[in-house]
Amino acid sequence: MPELPEVETVRRGIAPTLVGKTLLGARVRQPSLRWPVPADLDARLKGRQVHALERRGKYLLARLDQGTLILHLGMSGSLRLVPPECAPEKHDHVDIIAEGERILRYRYPRRFGAILLSDAPEQHPLIADLGLEPLAAEFDGDWLFALTRGRSGPIKPLLMNASLLVGVGNIYANESLFRAGIHPETPAGRLSRARCARLVVSIRSTLEQAILAG
C-alpha cells in the first residue's frame, strides 16, 4: 500500500506539470472505484485551473479555482503523466487532461482508490478526522510528549493511529522506533520528554529519507 513517502513522491513528481495549468476535462472508463467517480467529472474539471497540488495524509488534493479534486491511490494504484498518444491499458480507469494535452492517468487493478470532488475538502469525511502531519512544524517532542501522557497502550499503534498522526504506517513506525532505540511495545505514557523528542527526529528523518529515495 502506498504510504506517506510514496504519495509525497508522486505529488512532487506531477506537481510541476499540473500546477498553473488549465484542465481540459476527464475521460472516465471505469467509474466504479471504492466510491463512484463523479458522473459530471469531465464537465466540472473542464476549464478549471490547478492552483496547487497538496498532500493530506495519503490523499492528494488538487486545488482548483473552483473546488478541489481528491485522489487516493488505495492499495496499489498509480498516477502517471503520459502523452496523449499513449493508448490506455486494461486498468487505466481515468484520464485527467491538462492543457498541452498532458494526461494524468489513474491506474488501479483492484479499484480500491478514489477520485472525488469537494468544495470543502477539509470538511470531507475522508479528510476531516485526519491527525497531525509528521512533517509539519507542529510535530515536535512537546506535542508527542503531551499526546502520550496517561496512555498505557504501546507506542507503536499510537504512532499508526491516523486520527492522531497521519502517514506513519507499519514499516515506517518500526524503522523510526528502531532508530530511536524504543521497543514498539513500550507503554506510550512511560516515554520521557527526551525520548519523545528523539522519536520525533527519528520519524521525520525516516520519512524524509524514504521520500528522497523514491
- The 10 Å CB-count burial string (b at 16+, else e) for 53-71 is bebbbbbbbbebeebbbbb
The residue among 112, 99, 17, 104 whose CA lies nearest residue 69 is 104
Residue 37 near residue 45, CB atoms below 8 Å: no
| Residue 3 annotated as catalytic | yes
| Residue 133 annotated as catalytic | no
Options 2, 5, 38, 134, the catalytic residue: 2
Residue 199 near residue 142, CB atoms below 8 Å: no
The residue among 134, 66, 75, 130 whose CA lies nearest residue 107 is 75
- Grid cell for residue 97: 487532461
Return the number of other C-beta atoms located less than 10 Å from residue 117's C-beta: 20
Q: Which residues are the active-site residues?
A: 2-3
